[in-house]
Structure 1
Amino acid sequence: MTESATRPSTGSGSEHSGSRDRPAERSRSRTTWPRRVFVTPAILTLVVLGAYPLVFIALAAVTESSLGRPFQELVGTATVEDVLGDADVVASLVRGVVYAVLVALVSVVLGVTTAVALWRSVRAGSVTRTLLLLPMITPPVVVGILWKLVFNPSGGLVDTALRFVLPGADPVSVLSYPVLAFAGIALADVWEWTPLIVLLVFAALIGQDTEVGEAAALDGAHGFRLFSSITLPAIAGTIGAAFLIRLVLAFKVFDLVYIMTSGGPGQATTLPAYVIWQAALQQFDVGRAAVITLLLAAVVTIVTLPVVAITRRLHND
């Protein structure tokens, strides 16, 4: 009697729960399809824009490809071996790593310092913040021309300042010396992209919880101790992300090299992007340019992976 009495109630409960679940599933399906319809074009666009260049570069790297006639003949790894055996290409990749890390570090240090200074004077620094963004919105070609004029040995800013300090001194062509030319391009790059770091860090500073800082101030934390113990840990993840972005941008520099030095003097400022341009548009060897591009992508991945891991840990903390 007990089993027969309980079975119908169990069955009816499952039927009722099933009937309740079906409308919920239908409503979920009705809301899912419109989302898929709206998201699909964006996904397809990303796949096409990302997959097509990658497939093209990979095929060009293993074939004999010129600028006008790609994929002429399969050559396998011959181009890769030829590029790896070229000391100038390898040196440009090493030079690119040194340049990117150096420029990114200097940009982050200056950017964080400037952002903190603006944050301290948030009420009085609106005009200053606007002016600091001007280098970032200036076209890279214009930046290159501007800094080339600054380093001009005949009436440039550096030459004028030198003549003012040392009257009768010989003109100094900064871009004619390997080390100075490398530093000059780095300086122009830092000037152009440091405002991006300032913008990112400043947004993180004004977005942090002020109550934590006020509580720490009441406990006796002031000045550098307050910044190092409260403010810096709060924005450490943003600083790491800004360093990663700046690192990738530094690896891509081409305009400044092309305008200011054309890779010279000698090979002192020949960075990877400029080598790729030389192979593709001066030598018309698309296969060689594709191999150098893949090598640069591998180098960038190796260099940025530790930065990504550190940034992720800082965000989680």
Structure 2
Amino acid sequence: MSSDRFWRYATLAPAIALFICLTILPLANLGALSFHKVEWLDRVAVWEWVGLKNYAKLGSDTLFRAGILNTIIFSIVAVAFQMILGFWLALLCTRIKRLRQFYRTVFILPILVPGIIIGAIWKLMYSYDFGVINQLIALFGIAPVDWLGNPDLALLSVIIVDVWHWTPFCFLLMLASLESLPTDVQEAARIDGANNWQVLRYIILPLMLPAIIVTFVFRMILAFKVFDEIYLLTGGGPGTATEVISFTIYRRFFTEDQSGYGAAMSLATIAVVALLIVLAMRLSNRREAE
């Protein structure tokens, strides 16, 4: 082995070792755990082999099904609004001539706030008795609304919080993509008589498609992992109205002490997320090939 190749491998070795310790080994342990039932006897973990029983239970678990369904609804609706709002704000920022840095700073502020503070702020705002939202709608003669306690509104209320929190992430990626687009193509289209909508539809959006897909994949992954907002605002309630898969896994692991079943649920969720990533990447590659 040449000296240059040796040093290339040597410099990569710490990163590879860290990846194995923090990702591969925990994932392998999770896989082994999913085939066992774990009980604690005299402060010692006793593993009992159960084979595929943990996976077989997933189909009949109503909480798991509710968590998957709510997570899919939450992810699709929240990410769709974040992508649309993020793109719209980025488009506005590229056309603003004065105070552009000020507006950019204002737009990214929500993403800088820690999740626990966001949960506390919005829980106060949603309060039935003294929340600012109910006080505002009372000015128009509307009765107070139980935003977090009504099963029909609870998930929507959490989605609104997530949209407010993560739209800046989409905004930053969209803005970076918009500012990197070639301006000569847009100017040529306008000279040929294209209006703003035609430039947007036939030039800007096709050129931005790879960035849009990457942003969508990142946000879908993060949306599938939503936990803090659910934990702080609703605790999965009322009933199963805001039960998401990450919160269901948390219940199985830490409140019900079903480690093996929770591991199986975790791996099933990872498989779903991996499938979404593969589908999104194939769509991106297909569009680039066209």
Specify the alignment match of 1:144 in structure 2.
Answer: 119
1:314 is displaced (CA, Å) by 3.6
CA deviation profile, 1:56-103 (whole Å, cap 9, x unmatched): 111111111257654511111122222322122122112211211111
How do residues 224-263 of structure 1 correspond to structure 2 at under 5 angstroms? Answer: 224-263=197-236
Do residues 197 (structure 1) and 193 (structure 2) align? no
Query: Structure 1: which amino acid aligns with 2:86?
Result: G
Kindly name which structure, 1 or 2, has the bigger radius of gyration based on alpha carbons.
1
1:185 and 2:158 matched: yes
Task: Report which stretch shifted further, 239-248 or 221-230.
Answer: 221-230
Query: Paired residue for 2:23?
Result: 50
- The Cα of 1:288 is off from its aligned counterpart by 1.5
Aligned equivalents of 1:103 and 1:210: distance in 2? 31
**1:59 equivalent in alignment to 2:20:** no
Secondary structure in 2 matching 1:38: helix
Give me the identity figure in percent.
28
Q: Give the distance between the partners of 2:149 and 2:197, measured in 1 at CA.
A: 42
Give the structure 2 partner of residue 22 of structure 1: none
Distance of aligned partners of 1:277 and 1:177 in 2 relative to their CA distance in 1, 3 Å threshold: same
How many residue pairs are counted as aligned between the two chains? 288
Give the Å deviation of 1:260.
0.4
1:35, distance to aligned residue in structure 2 (A): 1.6
Partner of 2:3: 30
Cα distance change of structure 1 residues 228 and 170 upon mapping to structure 2, 3 Å threshold: closer
Q: Aligned partners of 2:54 and 2:210: how far apart in 1? A: 41
Provide the aligned C-alpha RMSD in A.
Answer: 1.8
Partner Cα separation in structure 2 for residue 88 and residue 100 of structure 1: 18
1:122 Cα shift? 5.2
TM-score, normalization by structure 1: 0.86
If each structure's helix is expressed as a fraction of its own residues, which one has the higher value?
Answer: 1
Q: Secondary structure at the match of 1:98?
A: helix
SS at match of 1:72: strand
Change (3 A) 1:49 1:316: farther
- SS in structure 2 at match of 1:175: coil
Question: Which position in structure 1 is the counterpart of 2:83?
Answer: 108
In 1, Cα distance between the equivalents of 2:176 and 2:46? 48
- Aligned-partner Cα distance in 1 for 2:127–2:93: 33
* Structure 2 unmatched runs, 5+: none
Matched residue SS, 1:264: coil
Counterpart residue type for residue 181 of structure 1: A
Question: Does structure 1 conserve the Cα–Cα contact (< 8 Å) formed by 2:137 and 2:143?
Answer: no
2:135 alignment counterpart: 160
Please say if 1:285 is aligned against 2:258: yes
**1:125 and 2:100 aligned:** yes
Residue identity matched to 2:17: L
Preserved CA contact (<8 Å) 1:151 1:157: yes
* CA spacing shift, 1:109–1:89, aligned 2, 3 Å: same
Query: 2:128 and 2:223 mapped to 1: Cα distance?
Result: 27
| Separation of aligned partners in 2, 1:70 and 1:235 | 52
**Match among 186, 191, 204 for residue 213 of structure 1:** 186
Structure 1 residue 123: Cα displacement = 4.8
Deviates more, 1:265-274 or 1:82-91: 82-91
1:301 equivalent in structure 2: 274
CA distance in 1, matches of 2:190, 2:215: 28
More displaced stretch, 49-58 vs 90-99? 90-99
Asked if the contact 1:66–1:287 (Cα under 8 Å) also holds between the matched residues in 2, the reply is no
Q: Determine whether 1:87 maps to 2:51.
A: no
Contact persistence 2:63–2:248 (CA under 8 A): no
Cα pair distance change 1:71/1:226, threshold 3 Å: farther
CA distance in 2, matches of 1:297, 1:31: 38
Q: Give the distance between the partners of 1:176 and 1:199, measured in 2 at CA.
A: 34
Q: Measure how far apart 1:306 and its partner are.
A: 2.1
